Chains A and B, each alone.
Chain A
Amino acid sequence: AQSVTQLDSQVPVFEEAPVELRCNYSSSVSVYLFWYVQYPNQGLQLLLKYLSGSTLVKGINGFEAEFNKSQTSFHLRKPSVHISDTAEYFCAVTTISGTYKYIFGTGTRLKVLA
Chain B
Amino acid sequence: EPEVTQTPSHQVTQMGQEVILRCVPISNHLYFYWYRQILGQKVEFLVSFYNNEISEKSEIFDDQFSVERPDGSNFTLKIRSTKLEDSAMYFCASSEYGGLETQYFGPGTRLLVL
Chain A interface (Cβ < 8 Å from any Cβ of B): 4, 32, 36, 41-46, 49, 51, 90, 92, 94, 96, 98-107
Interface residues of B in 54-97 (CB under 8 A from A): 55-56, 58, 91, 93
Asked, given contacts A90-B43, A101-B33, A102-B45, whether A43 binds B3 with beta carbons under 8 Å apart, the answer is: yes
Q: Are B100 and A99 in contact (CB under 8 A)?
A: no
Instruction: Place the interface of chain B in its size category.
Output: 20 to 34
Residue of A nearest to B4 (CB): A43
The residue among A42, A44, A92 with the most chain B CB atoms within 10 A of its own CB is: A44
Which residues of chain B are within 8 angstroms of A106 by Cβ–Cβ distance? Answer: 40-42
Q: Are A100 and B102 in contact (CB under 8 A)?
A: no
Which residues of chain B are within 8 angstroms of A99 by Cβ–Cβ distance? Answer: 31, 48, 50, 55-56, 98
Q: Are B91 and A43 in contact (CB under 8 A)?
A: yes
Q: Contact mask B1-23 → A, CB, 8 Å, 1/0?
A: 00110100100000000000000
Residue of A nearest to B44 (CB): A104
Which residues of chain A are within 8 angstroms of B50 by Cβ–Cβ distance? Answer: 99
Which residues of chain B are within 8 angstroms of A96 by Cβ–Cβ distance? Answer: 100
Complex formed: what's the CA distance from A96 to B107 in Å?
26
Contact of A101 among B4, B9, B45, B106 (CB under 8 A): B45
Chain B interface (Cβ < 8 Å from any Cβ of A): 3-4, 6, 9, 31, 33, 35, 40-45, 48, 50, 55-56, 58, 91, 93, 98-100, 102-108
Which residues of chain A are within 8 angstroms of B104 by Cβ–Cβ distance? Answer: 43, 46
**Nearest CB of chain A from residue B34's CB, rounded to whole Å:** 10
Q: Are B100 and A100 in contact (CB under 8 A)?
A: yes
Contact of A43 among B33, B48, B99, B106 (CB under 8 A): B106
Closest 8 A/B residue pairs (Cβ): A104-B43, A44-B105, A101-B45, A99-B56, A43-B105, A99-B48, A43-B107, A99-B55
**Nearest CB of chain A from residue B4's CB, rounded to whole Å:** 6
Contact of A44 among B40, B48, B91, B98 (CB under 8 A): B91
Complex formed: what's the CA distance from A81 to B50 in Å?
39
Which residues of chain A are within 8 angstroms of B56 by Cβ–Cβ distance? Answer: 98-99, 101
Q: Are A105 and B103 in contact (CB under 8 A)?
A: no
